[in-house]
């Protein structure tokens, strides 16, 4: 199969995924605003929760995929695993930023303050900075092999922030609600749970769609490098 | 609808859109660079390249 055929198949898969994730996202939005009940204490502001939890979940997933990509790069030494790790960081940063901003907006309405230095929020802010630094440090290294090895090790170590952030609201005293594992601060009804599950599916599909688009960019970069190497060698 | 919910909903659309836009812009730039390099190679060595496999 030629590179052009592979590109054509990739575009077909990308279009199918885009349509599917668009449809699921539309369903999730309709459910958030029409199907999910109005929460008794917070009112409509509680509906932020569906976007917030879903984007945080995808951010965590993306950073774990980065660690996996890094690990596979260190084991196999293939450039595609480095491309996967890098692409997943960029998409993950988008979703974690969404989680932090939507969480902050929810806090503004629920707590009366947009930001407080409690454990979950503090770890989220640190996590955000760690992965921005990942992208900055990559740009600072010129040698491609050294850059990929360094990024792989960095991505694996940085993934510690995922369990740390997940358990922060269970290990330390915090005002952040614990919804998913049955905390007392916020109870959800079956309709809320259905809406959350559809939102999680929609955001996960959006992640895969964006990841594939970002991976195509890395392939184009590799193609350019290949052309330049060939031109330089002639 | 509360302002906070509208703002959160806007963030849901704006951030992925920014990511998609930056990916698209970078992709176009790379494709233009590849075409430019191929044109240079063709000029230097005509009928030398298999463009499908680059």
Query: A 70-99 residues with CB below 8 A of B?
Result: 90-91, 94, 97-98
pLDDT band at A76 (very low <50, low <70, confident <90, very high): very high
Q: Which positions in chain A touch B38 (Cβ < 8 Å)?
A: 227
pLDDT of residue A11 exceeding 80: no
3-state secondary structure of A140: helix
The answer to whether A231 and B37 are in contact (CB under 8 A) is yes
- DSSP readout, B1-54? --HHHHHHHHHHHHHHHHHHHHHHHHHHHHHHHHHHHHHHHHHHSTT---GGG-
Segment B22-50, tens digit of pLDDT: 999 999 999 999 999 888 888 887 655 55
Other Cβ atoms within 10 Å of A162 Cβ, number: 20
Q: Mean pLDDT across the stretch A107-117?
A: 88
Contacts of B42-50 with CB under 8 Å at 24 or more apart are: B44/A231, B44/A234, B45/A234, B48/A234
pLDDT of residue A163 exceeding 60: yes
Report the C-alpha gap between B16 and A4 in whole angstroms. 28
Domain of residue B38, residue span: 3-53
Which pTM does this prediction carry?
Answer: 0.88
What's domain A3-233's architecture?
Up-down Bundle (1.20)
- Interchain CB distance below 8 Å, A2 and B27: no
Residue A167 is predicted with a pLDDT of 86
Scanning every residue of chain B, which has its alpha carbon at the shortest distance from the alpha carbon of A52? Answer: B8
What backbone phi and psi angles, to 5 degrees, belong to A39?
-70, 140
How many domains does chain B divide into? 1
Q: Is A40 exposed, middle or buried (0-12, 13-18, 19+ CB in 10 A)?
A: exposed
What percentage of chain A carries pLDDT values higher than 70?
Answer: 92
- Interchain CB distance below 8 Å, A217 and B26: yes
Residue A45 is predicted with a pLDDT of 87
Segment A150-162, tens digit of pLDDT: 999 999 999 999 9
Report the C-alpha gap between A60 and A94 in whole angstroms. 11
Report the C-alpha gap between A101 and B27 in whole angstroms. 28
């Amino acid at each position: 199969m030629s590179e052009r055929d592979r590109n054509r198949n990739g575009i077909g898969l990308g279009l199918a995924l885009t349509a599917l994730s668009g449809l699921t996202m539309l369903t999730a939005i309709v459910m958030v605003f029409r199907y999910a009940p109005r929460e008794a204490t917070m009112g409509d502001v509680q509906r932020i929760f569906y976007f917030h939890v879903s984007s945080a979940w995808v951010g965590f997933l993306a950073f774990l995929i980065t660690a996996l990509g890094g690990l596979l790069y260190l084991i196999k030494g293939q450039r595609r695993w480095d491309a996967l790790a890098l692409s997943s960081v960029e998409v993950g940063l988008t979703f974690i930023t969404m989680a932090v901003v939507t969480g902050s907006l929810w806090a503004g309405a629920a707590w009366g303050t947009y930001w407080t230095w409690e454990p979950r929020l503090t770890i989220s802010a640190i996590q955000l900075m760690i992965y921005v630094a990942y992208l900055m440090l990559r740009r600072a290294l010129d040698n491609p092999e050294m850059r990929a090895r360094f990024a792989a090790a960095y991505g694996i170590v940085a993934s510690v922030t995922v369990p740390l952030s997940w358990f922060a609201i269970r290990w330390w005293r915090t005002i952040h609600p614990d919804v998913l594992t049955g905390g007392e601060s916020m109870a959800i009804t079956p309709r809320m749970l259905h809406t959350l599950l559809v939102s999680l599916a929609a955001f996960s599909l959006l992640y895969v769609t964006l990841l594939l688009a970002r991976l195509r960019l890395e392939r184009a970069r590799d193609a350019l490098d290949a052309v330049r190497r060939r031109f330089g060698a002639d | 609808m509360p302002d906070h919910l509208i703002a959160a909903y806007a963030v849901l659309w704006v951030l992925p859109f920014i990511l998609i836009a930056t990916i698209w812009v970078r992709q176009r730039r790379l494709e233009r660079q590849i075409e430019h390099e191929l044109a240079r190679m063709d000029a230097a060595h005509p009928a030398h390249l298999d463009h499908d496999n680059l």
